[in-house]
């Protein structure tokens, strides 16, 4: 799954280009950098690869979300609807702009349930933020329809689905803005980094300034730049951008390998009648970073996970229901609104209220789900062995369950 698996001379070459100039900052120093602009080059490559008009590189996927929210005008008191299954950065970014994260249940797509989104809308709702988890997409037709009906912003968190698409459009380019993460375990890595993508010029201009202390970047002298608004430092370095520039050239190969391995593993697991698979609104657009599968009950799923652990084959298989990072059930720090800085009492109360609601519909999905990360370097023999070991464990547990029933 992650691009770091294929580190090669291509990344070293791009990084060395930067090191030879000694100019590690993406802005300024026009003369000494000798025409080396890795961040600009990567932004152009992102626009060309994913079909968006604008791309603004930042220091992380979290910074990308925060920037995108600020750029589209989300702020204090606004409500942002997001799924109960995501990464903690999603709600952290909402809080960073003073908005309220409102969680909605997921369905068997492992993303926002459109009916749950409708039920979560209030007079304070400003944005719907689908999170395209584990390589695949939300039901974007349904969510776009809801946003149009209620005049809401649509912000895509596509950090886990680089290269995925929905009906011919790349994930992250469908809404008002979209984001990728380029951290160490993403399909494309910069080691650390992220990007805001948009087809709206105003959102791009806001993102460009917001990530660099509000600089308008209209001249060649940073000291003479105007600051139309307050910004922060979310800049990516030339070194990180250089890594990403090499990686993006490999994306098609990454996706091809993932799809091949994903298909092979799915075919092996499909031999077990009790296994079902994640519903994907557009199967042709799955980036195939994970194969997500379901067992009939939480009890059986837990037993399979325990047996996989006992046989030392759990690595790369994720039971999100017990995960501290990705599912709301374990987010006690959010439910208790534990922050180092004081939140406004109204915001704190709203956060605690929305994070502590009933998510039994999500539990019914996540308690039965395991996601298997798809490796880029698996040999055919390794893939065959992995699939056989997983199938054997599952059949063993199912047989035991029937015996004890």
**Pair of tokens at residue 218:** 């209209």
Note whether 189 and 240 are within 8 A (CB): no
Phi, psi for 368 (deg, rounded to 5): -110, 5
Query: Three-class SS of residue 155?
Result: strand
Active site residue 186: yes
Please provide the DSSP assignment of 160-211 as one string. Answer: T-TT-EETTEETTSSSSEEEEE-BTTSSS--BS-EEEEES-HHHHHHHHHHT
Longest dimension (CA), the chain: 77
Return the ∠ at Cα 166 (arms to 164 and 168), rounded to 5°: 95
- Taking CA 337 as the corner, what is the angle to CA 334 and CA 338, rounded to the nearest 5 degrees? 95
Count helices and strands in the chain by DSSP H and E runs: 14, 13
What are the φ/ψ torsions at residue 175 (nearest 5 degrees)?
A: -85, -165
Quickly list DSSP for 93-120.
HHHHTT-EEEEE-B-TTSSB-HHHHHHH
How far lies 194's CA from each of 97, 159, 364, in Å? 18, 8, 32
Give Cα 104 distance to the centre of its chain. Answer: 17
Chain-centre distance of CA 318, in angstroms? 16
* Residue 327, Ramachandran bin (φ over 0: left; ψ between -120 and 50: alpha; else beta): beta
Among left, alpha and beta (phi > 0; psi -120 to 50; other), residue 164 is: beta
Catalytic residue among 38, 126, 170, 186: 186
What are the residue numbers of the active site?
Answer: 186
């Amino acid at each position: 799954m992650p691009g770091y698996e294929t580190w090669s001379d291509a990344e070293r070459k791009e990084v060395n280009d930067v090191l030879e100039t000694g100019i590690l900052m993406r802005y300024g120093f026009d003369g000494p950098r000798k025409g080396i602009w890795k961040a600009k080059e990567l932004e152009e490559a992102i626009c060309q690869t994913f079909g968006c008009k604008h791309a603004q590189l930042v220091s992380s996927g979290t910074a990308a979300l925060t920037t995108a929210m600020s750029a589209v005008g989300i702020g204090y008191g606004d409500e942002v609807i997001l799924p109960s299954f995501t990464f903690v950065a999603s709600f952290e970014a909402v809080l960073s702009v003073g908005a309220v994260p409102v969680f909605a249940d997921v369905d068997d797509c492992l993303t926002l349930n459109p009916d749950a989104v409708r039920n979560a809308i209030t007079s304070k709702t400003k944005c719907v933020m689908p999170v395209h988890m584990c390589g695949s997409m939300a039901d974007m037709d349904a969510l776009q329809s809801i946003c149009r009906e209620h005049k809401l912003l649509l912000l895509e968190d596509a950090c886990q689905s680089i290269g995925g698409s929905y009906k011919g459009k790349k994930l992250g380019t469908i809404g008002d803005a979209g984001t990728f993460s380029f951290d160490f375990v993403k399909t494309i890595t910069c080691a650390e980094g992220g990007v805001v993508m948009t087809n709206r010029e105003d959102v791009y201009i806001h993102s460009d300034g917001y990530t660099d202390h509000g600089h308008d970047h209209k001249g060649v002298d940073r000291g003479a730049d105007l600051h139309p608004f307050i910004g922060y430092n979310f800049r990516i370095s030339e070194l990180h951008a250089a890594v990403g520039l090499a990686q993006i050239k490999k994306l098609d190969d990454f996706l091809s390998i993932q799809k091949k391995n994903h298909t092979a593993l799915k075919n092996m697991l499909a031999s077990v009648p009790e296994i079902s698979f994640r519903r994907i609104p557009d199967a042709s657009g799955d980036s195939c970073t994970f194969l997500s599968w379901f067992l009939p009950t939480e009890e059986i799923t837990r037993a399979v996970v325990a047996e996989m652990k006992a046989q030392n084959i759990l690595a790369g298989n994720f039971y999100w229901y017990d995960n501290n990072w990705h599912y709301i059930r374990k987010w006690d720090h959010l439910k208790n609104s534990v922050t180092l800085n004081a939140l406004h009492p109204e915001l704190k109360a709203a956060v605690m209220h929305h994070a502590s609601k009933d998510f039994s519909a999500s539990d019914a999905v996540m308690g039965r789900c395991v996601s298997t990360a798809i490796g880029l370097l698996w040999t055919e023999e390794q893939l065959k062995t992995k699939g056989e070991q997983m199938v054997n464990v599952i059949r063993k547990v199912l047989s035991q369950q029937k015996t004890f029933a």
